Amino acid sequence: MNTTPEPQRIVLAGVHGYGRNYLPVLRELTAEGVATLVGVCDLRPVPAEMLEGLGTPVHGPDLGALVRETGADVAVIATPLHTHTALGLAALEAGAHLQLEKPPAVSLAEFDALREAAERLGLVCQVGFQSLGSGAPEHVRTLVREGAVGTVRGIGAHAAWSRDTAYYQRAPWAGRRRLDGVDVVDGALTNPLAHAVATVLALDGGTVESVETELYRAFDNETDDTSCVRVHTSGGLAQGRPLVVAATLAAAEQQPPVITVHGDAGSISYWYTEDRVRLTRPGSEPVETTHGRTVLLRDLLSHLAAARDGAADPAPLLVPLASTEGFMRVLESVRTAPDPRQLPAEDLPGEGGARRRVIPGITDVVVEAADQLALYSELPRFAALAGRAA
């Protein structure tokens, strides 16, 4: 008798943008017999070579209909930000579990609608914050719980990236706060550097009580590209002390983002794009470790397979939808904040005729904000940079 489990059936919504990053793991899962791609939902034709090694999935523009037609177990949604909720709800109502790219929604109300639907239908949703698939966050939490850095004074993250006009011209929704009256919220902290926010909140693990935002822009867009947020939580690792994320897409040179747990007896630095952690204490040599990372789609499929096989208590998802509520509360504060203020910036040549915007000295500002657990407006360096009196 053949006891080999049937491959789980997957539909992929969005192939031409970020969704193409799912294709390699889908090929691996197909080769392993774990999953099969049965459907592709996209408004544009998909070249056959993109789907090489993935069989002959059904194509269609209606995700709900595609899930029903193919009997899909899982819908992977990697479409523009402002389409996540409608597509997620359609897939859930059609009976599919979700692998949903970040941000899960573009408003707290939409997030609540997704969560209610998943709970009502008995389906699960994993959110694509890949950094939370790493073993590094738990290692950091263990160090803190063991007293490695003493009492936590706060957690700060700084991210200095460089983007150009081509980045904002790649799609009609890019760089927009709203499009045709619909929220998009494509800001530095809610899309390209959303992982910094989500990872800081996951490290802390508390309930968000308050959010302060400061939004600025160097590019000629609606949205923020240079931003700072300070969050206070209850019941978390930081024990109510500040969590600060300072970010820019207008740096002179791109650097890997760093999250630092500041303690009164040392610090822990975590490069979340590299899964690398450094413990620094006075009088001791720094200790560095690197950590493995689980692919979130694999984690979702393992969870569903365990449930299907009758496991009484399958391992929880690494990034279940409910765990991202704190991130959504930050996004909601960004969404409802005043429009970002323009900052003086240099206009420099980019690649292929694109233009870059660089705010002189901004990298030092984002680092200082994260180190001082301060908002930009509290830093004399930023006041000078912004052309205001200190």
Q: Considering Cα of 263, then 266, then 267, then 268, what sign does the dihedral take?
A: negative
Domain 8-123 classification at class level: alpha beta
What was the pLDDT predicted at 389? 40
pLDDT tens digits for range 78-108? 999 999 999 999 999 999 999 999 999 999 9
What dihedral angle (degrees, nearest 10) is formed by the CA atoms of 105, 34, 32, 274?
30
Amino acid letter, 247: A
What was the pLDDT predicted at 196? 98
What was the pLDDT predicted at 390? 38
SS3 (DSSP) at 250 = strand
Q: Hey, what are 159's tokens?
A: 């991210």
Alpha-carbon 108 to chain mean position: 16
Q: Which CATH architecture has domain 132-292+325-385?
A: 2-Layer Sandwich (3.30)
What was the pLDDT predicted at 123? 98
Mean pLDDT of 372-377: 98
Asked if the bond preceding 256 is cis, omega within 30° of 0, the reply is: no
pLDDT tens digits for range 213-255? 999 999 999 999 999 999 999 999 999 999 999 999 999 999 9
pLDDT tens digits for range 22-52? 999 999 999 999 999 999 999 998 999 999 9
What was the pLDDT predicted at 53? 94
pLDDT tens digits for range 149-171? 999 999 999 999 999 999 999 99
pLDDT tens digits for range 326-345? 999 999 999 999 999 999 99
Domain edges within the chain: 8-123, 132-292+325-385
Pairing status of strand 182-183 against strand 287-290: unpaired
Give yes or no for a contact between 218 and 225, defined as CB atoms under 8 angstroms apart: yes
Pairing status of strand 243-248 against strand 226-234: antiparallel
Residue 316 has pLDDT above 50, yes or no: yes
The answer for 373, left when phi > 0, alpha when psi is -120 to 50, beta otherwise, is left
Residues 6+ apart with CB under 8 A from 319: 126, 127, 128, 129, 132, 133, 296
Full strand arrangement of the beta sheet holding 97-100: 58-60, 35-41, 8-13, 74-77, 97-100, 125-127
Residue 1 has pLDDT above 70, yes or no: no
- Mean pLDDT score of the chain: 96
Look up the pTM and report it.
Answer: 0.96
Q: How many Cβ atoms are within 10 Å of 387's Cβ, its own excluded?
A: 8
What was the pLDDT predicted at 311? 74
What was the pLDDT predicted at 52? 94
Amino acid letter, 253: E
Q: How confident is the model at residue 2 (pLDDT cuts 50, 70, 90)?
A: low
pLDDT tens digits for range 258-312? 999 999 999 999 999 999 999 999 999 999 999 999 999 999 999 999 988 877 6
Q: Considering Cα of 236, then 237, then 241, then 247, what sign does the dihedral take?
A: negative
Q: How many Cβ atoms are within 10 Å of 44's Cβ, its own excluded?
A: 8
Residue 3 has pLDDT above 70, yes or no: no
C-alpha R_g of the chain: 22
